[in-house]
Chain A
Amino acid sequence: MIDLFTDITEIANKDGNKVYDIFFGPNHPGMHGNFGYVVDMIGHSIAKARVNAGLLHRGFEKIMETNLWHQNLSLIPRICVVDPDPNEAAYCGAIEKIMGLEIPERAKFIRTITLEMSRMTSHLMGMGSVGGATGLYTVMYLMLADRDRLLDMFEWLTGGRIYHIYNIPGGVRRDLPKGWKEKLYGLMDFFESKLKEYDEILYRHPIIHKRLKGVGVITAEQAKKWGITGPNLRATGVKFDTRKAYPYAAYDQLEFDIPTEKEGDALARANLVRAEFEVTISIIRQALDKLPEGDVNIKLGNPLKFKVPEGEAYAKVESSKGEYGYYIVSTGGIKPYRVSVRGPSLPAGLFLCHKHLPGMRIDDVALWMNTLQICAPDFDR
Chain B
Amino acid sequence: MVGLLFIGLGRIITARVQRRIGPPFYQQFIDVIKLLARESIWHHWIMTLGSIMALGGLIATMVHVPVAGWLPYDSGGPIFLILYLATIGYLGMAMGVSASGNPNAPLGIGRALSLMLGYEIPFAAILILFISLTGSSSLTEIAAMQAGGFLSWNIVKFPLAFIAAEITVQAMMAEKPFDQMIAPSEIASGPLVELGGKFLGLGMIQMAVAIYFETAIMVNLFFGGGANIFTFTLKQFGVYTIAILINSVMPRYKIENAVRYLWTVPLALIIIQMLIVFLR
Contacts and interface: CB of A to CB of B under 8 A. Distances in A.
Chains A and B touch (C-beta atoms under 8 A apart): yes
Interface of A: 20-22, 28-30, 41, 44, 131-138, 141-142, 145, 201, 205, 207-208, 210-211, 361-363, 365-366
A29 B18 contact: no
Contacts of B176: 135-136
B103 A29 contact: no
16 contacts: A22-B103, A29-B189, A30-B185, A44-B107, A135-B183, A135-B185, A135-B250, A135-B252, A136-B250, A136-B251, A137-B248, A142-B18, A207-B252, A362-B186, A362-B187, A366-B186
Contacts of A133: 185
A363 B252 CA distance: 10
Interface string B239-279: 00000000011111111010000000000000000000000
B20 A134 contact: no
B188 A29 contact: yes
**8 tightest A-B CB contacts, nearest first:** A30-B185, A134-B251, A135-B252, A141-B18, A136-B251, A29-B184, A366-B185, A133-B185
Nearest to A22: B103
Interface string B47-74: 0000000000000000000000000000
A110 B252 CA distance: 41
A141 B20 contact: yes
B186 A30 contact: yes
Contacts of A142: 18-19
Contacts of A362: 107, 186-187
Contact of A208 (B103, B179, B248, B251): B251
B117 interface: no
B164 to A, nearest CB: 18
B253 A28 contact: no
A216 B183 CA distance: 20
Contact of B185 (A41, A132, A361): A132
A131 B186 contact: no
Interface in B170-189: 176-177, 179, 183-189
Contacts of B257: 210
A65 to B, nearest CB: 39
B185 A22 contact: no
Nearest to A134: B251
B263 to A, nearest CB: 16
Interface residues of B, number: 28
Residue of B107, B110, B176, B251 ringed by the most chain A CB atoms within 10 A: B251
Given A21-B103, A22-B103, A211 B18 contact: no
A208 B252 CA distance: 8
Given A132-B185, A138-B249, 19 more contacts: A20-B103, A21-B103, A29-B188, A30-B184, A30-B188, A44-B110, A133-B185, A134-B185, A134-B251, A135-B179, A135-B185, A135-B250, A136-B252, A137-B18, A141-B18, A142-B19, A201-B249, A207-B253, A362-B107
Contacts of A201: 249
A145 B103 contact: no
B20 to A, nearest CB: 7
B112 to A, nearest CB: 13
Nearest to B111: A44
Interface in B76-115: 103-104, 107, 110
B188 A363 contact: no
Contacts of B17: 138
B41 to A, nearest CB: 16
B129 to A, nearest CB: 28
Contacts of B249: 136, 138, 201
B110 to A, nearest CB: 8
A145 B251 CA distance: 19
Nearest to B258: A207
A201 B176 CA distance: 14
Interface centre among B20, B177, B189 (most CB of A within 10 A): B177
Nearest to B248: A138
B185 A211 contact: no
A252 to B, nearest CB: 40
A22 B104 contact: yes
Contacts of B250: 135-136, 207
Nearest to A18: B103
Nearest to A129: B185
Contacts of A28: 188
Contacts of A210: 253-254, 257
B252 to A, nearest CB: 4
Given A29-B189, A30-B186, A136-B249, A211 B254 contact: yes
